[in-house]
Structure 1
Amino acid sequence: MKPLVRTAALSGYVELCRSLGVDPQELMTRVGLDTAALAAQDRWISGAATVELLELSAAASGHEDFGVRMAQLRRFSNLGPVSLVVREEPDVRSALGLLIRHQHMYNEVLHARLSEGDGLATLKVDLRLGEAIAARQATELAVAAFLRILREFRATGWQPLSVWFTHPAPADTATHRRFLGPRVEFGREFNGIVFYADDLDAPNAMADPLLLEYARRYFEAIAVPRDTTVADQVRELIEVLLPSGRCSIEQVARSLGVDRRTVHRHLAASGETFSSLLNATRTHLAEQFVANPRRSLTEIAELLGFSSLSAFSRWFRERFGCSPRAWRGDPGVRSTPRTDVPK
């Protein structure tokens, strides 16, 4: 089943379109949606249609900052029931952690994860649609919405160290810098927010300690558990282990507390193999890394767990049909990566 999003993801859409001289109903009809559906923010709609709608709206309005403008109209309550308990968590770490663990309750397309290292915290935000769709506006909306939430946790005036996007900069970055802060960078290797790790331990400015227990009891009654499969866990571990050069099924199995045969068995049940997940993860990361001219190919080879640049180049050519240098230098040679390449 293709991922869905709550209609709350389009909160403010009609108002923004009308303010920019665009007919929202016409655009929604083109992607199979209806403005009437937006009256109830807990209704679920197609994630792909929502992403396509935002791209069409940016083009129709002539505003490359459409997604960021949408984020400015978001309210904390747009998160739905999860917002009631998140706002009462005592600190930023627990609030953000809860929001990430239960992201499937408000957006099945969204894939956010938090990591820490060298005194920094990185919140990476991806959209997983299961198909190739331009998603610049939806990505900027998601990152900007997370930034808005972080600011509400910390109170007015807080700024991250930087906000990153993998896509190129728009012709005019004024809206981005006004809303996201002065250190917005484009053409980077991931979409997300970088800030000091100790900000995670700061008190949540919205929290009322007397309401926390009530909020948690309520949430326990309505929370929908996420069906996390072994394949999901293996994907996460592969991404973490690749830069270490120790990404093997044995290491993954040890991290999961099982033997390699158990991992093989669970992956086979879901139609996957360790090699297929490894290649899929490398492909996803390679597209981001190679497109970024700031990364050397040698550095990228190491980040993807290859023993040498030549090994990476051979894999890349088999996967993409050209060398990484050619792929980086000429977008016209880029093609859909193969899915049948062995490890």
Structure 2
Amino acid sequence: MFLIRSGAIEGYEQLVSQYGQNPTTLLQQFGFSSAQLRDPNTYVSYTRLADLLDATALACGDPVFCLSLCAHQGPLALGEIGLSIRQQPTLADALVYSRQHISLHAYGVHVQQATRGDTLELQLSFDFSNASGLVQLMQLSAGQAFNLLSQMVGSAASSLKLHLPQAAPAQALKMPARYEGHILYQSEFGGISFPLIWLSRKPQLDEELLREHFQQRIQLLETIYPGNLQAQVCHIIGNLLPSGECNIERVAAALNLHPRVLQKKLQAEKTTFRELLQKTRLEVAQRNLQHGQLSITDLALNLGYADVAIFSRNFKSWTGQSPRDWKARYQYVPPNK
């Protein structure tokens, strides 16, 4: 099953409305709802999302709809993985991190590196296709990759190129200014390219963007879990686990609280950070074992375990079964078409 975070289409409803179309109707045609978009970390069908984007571009009459969408997106589009990528020591490390953790954002997409002269190409590929050849989905994915790299290199972004296999549209209603002069149509691949010498660069960390990310996250948590501190903590834990830096200090900072204040608030609710960490690890593990494509070793790493044996031992103490046995019993098997 191919899944992607709903945050990938952050701003979809607002943009569709600007074109005079009804986003609710379009979403419903493909089995989605506005409620699913409310939490950017909800996983939705990747294949149906691709079809939704193609239909939306047609309804809005804009062949570069998804580039327009990307141009207006904020930090929530890529979520925690986007923030963690920006915090790597060099761009080379950032690329390694993104390949290792891309499944946190989507299952069914891959990034391959290729060198052409003094240029590095990041080529995107998918494990599925549709009638259009995933035209809009490629725009979305390549556009988000472009946004992320441009934020990390700052003023040097003039050398960054956005590659699209599709032909140049005869007419676009709103060609985003940020991509003008950067797009290469009818490219041999979809993705981005930039000078090889950038690999040793230290990514720029935009403090304003960082503040925006945390403000959006706090607002999001208050919207989804109003007055529910435990749910908010579990949500943040789930996002931080893959970074290997999930601790009460990081979670408290995300909630704009001092760690001791968070501890006291949890104690008042008769729980602890440790208990919520265990609860979240179990929920994430079961969700991935049932629907995901990660190996058990990779799953253990994404849950913050340095040793898969420790994860397996803990999982068995929680469920009475090893991760492998639990997966064999409960893994989702899609019906034959």
Alpha carbons of 1:119 and 1:228: their partners in 2 closer, same or farther (altered >3 Å)? farther
- Does the CA-based 8 Å contact 1:127-1:139 persist in structure 2? no
Structure 2 CA distance, aligned partners of 1:115 and 1:148?
A: 20
- Does the CA-based 8 Å contact 1:7-1:37 persist in structure 2? yes
Specify the alignment match of 2:294 in structure 1. Answer: 227
Under a length normalisation based on structure 1, what TM-score does the superposition of the two structures give?
Answer: 0.58
Structure 2 CA distance, aligned partners of 1:87 and 1:103?
A: 14
Alpha carbons of 1:186 and 1:43: their partners in 2 closer, same or farther (altered >3 Å)? same
Q: CA deviation at 1:145?
A: 0.6
Alpha carbons of 1:124 and 1:160: their partners in 2 closer, same or farther (altered >3 Å)? farther
Alpha carbons of 1:161 and 1:95: their partners in 2 closer, same or farther (altered >3 Å)? closer
Alpha carbons of 1:48 and 1:215: their partners in 2 closer, same or farther (altered >3 Å)? closer
Structure 2 CA distance, aligned partners of 1:99 and 1:7?
A: 18
- The aligned runs of 1:94-133 (5 Å cut-off) are 94-129=93-128
Specify the alignment match of 1:40 in structure 2. Answer: 39
Structure 2 CA distance, aligned partners of 1:171 and 1:132?
A: 20
Structure 2 CA distance, aligned partners of 1:16 and 1:144?
A: 16
Structure 2 CA distance, aligned partners of 1:160 and 1:100?
A: 23
Structure 2 CA distance, aligned partners of 1:36 and 1:57?
A: 18
Structure 2 CA distance, aligned partners of 1:175 and 1:219?
A: 41
- The aligned runs of 1:192-231 (5 Å cut-off) are 192-206=191-205, 216-218=243-245, 227=294
- Does the CA-based 8 Å contact 1:90-1:207 persist in structure 2? no
Note the residue ranges of structure 1 that are not aligned, 5 or more in a row: 209-213, 230-343
SS of equivalent to 2:14: helix
Specify the alignment match of 2:71 in structure 1. Answer: 72
After superposition, give the CA deviation of every residue in 1:66-124 in whole Å (9 maximum; x if it has no partner). Answer: 00011012223332232342221122121132122211111113222223342210011
Identity of aligned pairs, percent?
19
| Aligned AA (2:61) | G
Specify the alignment match of 1:158 in structure 2. Answer: 157
- Does the CA-based 8 Å contact 1:76-1:149 persist in structure 2? no
- The aligned runs of 1:184-195 (5 Å cut-off) are 184-195=183-194
Specify the alignment match of 2:86 in structure 1. Answer: 87
Alpha carbons of 1:94 and 1:173: their partners in 2 closer, same or farther (altered >3 Å)? farther
SS of equivalent to 1:154: helix
Structure 1 CA distance, aligned partners of 2:40 and 2:125?
A: 22
Aligned residues: 224
SS of equivalent to 2:50: helix
SS of equivalent to 2:84: helix
Q: CA deviation at 1:173?
A: 5.6
| Aligned AA (2:24) | Q
Specify the alignment match of 1:49 in structure 2. Answer: 48
SS of equivalent to 1:159: helix
After superposition, give the CA deviation of every residue in 1:176-235 in whole Å (9 maximum; x if it has no partner). Answer: 573224142222211121211011211110189xxxxx9953269979896369xxxxxx
Alpha carbons of 1:63 and 1:138: their partners in 2 closer, same or farther (altered >3 Å)? same
SS of equivalent to 2:123: strand
| Aligned AA (2:120) | A
| Aligned AA (2:144) | A
Q: CA deviation at 1:38?
A: 0.7
- Does the CA-based 8 Å contact 1:85-1:215 persist in structure 2? no
Specify the alignment match of 1:30 in structure 2. Answer: 29
Structure 2 CA distance, aligned partners of 1:17 and 1:177?
A: 15
SS of equivalent to 1:114: strand
Structure 2 CA distance, aligned partners of 1:157 and 1:93?
A: 16
Structure 1 CA distance, aligned partners of 2:143 and 2:17?
A: 21
Structure 2 CA distance, aligned partners of 1:84 and 1:188?
A: 29
Note the residue ranges of structure 2 that are not aligned, 5 or more in a row: 208-240, 248-276, 297-337
Q: CA RMSD in A?
A: 3.0
Under a length normalisation based on structure 2, what TM-score does the superposition of the two structures give?
Answer: 0.59
Specify the alignment match of 2:138 in structure 1. Answer: 139
- Does the CA-based 8 Å contact 1:8-1:42 persist in structure 2? yes
